[in-house]
Amino acid sequence: MLTRIDHIGIACFDLDKTIEFYRETYGFEVLHIEANEEQGLREAMLRINGTSDGGMSCLQLLESTREDSVVGKWLAKNGEGVHHIAFGTADVDGDADAIRDKGIRVLYDEPRIGSMGSRITFLHPKDCHGVLTELVTAAPSDRAGH
Amino acid sequence: MLTRIDHIGIACFDLDKTIEFYRETYGFEVLHIEANEEQGLREAMLRINGTSDGGMSCLQLLESTREDSVVGKWLAKNGEGVHHIAFGTADVDGDADAIRDKGIRVLYDEPRIGSMGSRITFLHPKDCHGVLTELVTAAPSDRAGH
């Protein structure tokens, strides 16, 4: 069961400048930064608010570190902007299976490790009215910290 | 001060079909539907979760009712997808003024009435790393209800 907006994923050309924009303009602070060599990404999580399921909602800023990365190709086509939205759930495996059974294409056979030790999968945007949609289960230690 | 992700605005070709997609796929229910003749819009709010500031986070589904509406033109260019993001604040007037003073273009001179009696304004996407960004203060009676 999806119980929160976990984050909004925003692709940007320069992560440091974009972090600075969100800090200067709104006062949002960085919770976490990490690089994902495999995906050719560097990303920052900015915590915006806590949620009624005991989690939180964030902005996730995504910078491509390789032209041929998924986000790099997306940026070359679209420019900066909202890349995906993510819903939080306690059970990404069960929810992904249930959604697959409804005929929606789930992009990974099994959930993979996402940022901050979460487990994630994605739904095909063409099956979701144009919205690349992520499902996230936060890491246990991470959830406990909220 | 912006204290929550208020909603994610998603443009769609057919509001009823898109509502049905979100209900069938995830179990999200409609909180509110309204038409805005002036803006050439029909919209639905789907409540996803409560937030730590006493508000809530929603998906806002937007259908154009006129080809020449802002959302209609956007859909013709981009197809379905995420149209804007909105942050909630107790003081949209003060926050809009403070953000304008930082050199970000605020699209309305004064906040206007948005859905569910809220007061809203928008920031120029070119000043926000490609993201059309809305600021929202919920109607008092609406906030009390959460």
* For chain A, domain boundaries: 2-144
What is residue A106's DSSP assignment? B
The size of the A-B interface in CB pairs under 8 A is 109
Six-digit token string for A113: 């490790």
Q: Considering only alpha carbons, which residue of chain A is nearest residue B146?
A: A52
- Classify residue B141 as exposed, middle or buried by CB count within 10 Å of its CB (0-12, 13-18, 19+): exposed
Neighbour order of strands in the sheet with B2-12: B30-36, B41-50, B56-64, B2-12, B81-89, B133-137, B119-123, B112-113
What are the tens digits of pLDDT across the range B6-51?
999 999 999 999 999 999 999 999 999 999 988 899 999 999 999 9
User: Does residue A77 sit at the B interface (CB-CB below 8 Å)?
Assistant: no
Q: What percent of chain B has pLDDT over 70?
A: 96
Q: Does A10 touch chain B (CB under 8 A)?
A: yes
Contacts of A18 in chain B (CB under 8 A): 129
* Cβ–Cβ under 8 Å, residues A3 and A56: no
Asked if B39 and B113 touch (Cβ cutoff 8 Å), the reply is: no
Backbone angles phi, psi at B83, to 5 degrees: -95, -40
At A23-71, the pLDDT tens digits run: 999 999 999 999 998 889 999 999 999 999 999 999 999 999 998 999 9
Active site residue A34: no
Query: What is the per-residue pLDDT for A41?
Result: 95
Tens-digit pLDDT profile for residues A100-144: 999 999 999 999 999 999 999 999 999 999 999 999 999 986 544
Contact A124, A105 (CB under 8 A): yes
Mean pLDDT of B81-108: 98
**CATH code assigned to A2-144:** 3.10.180.10
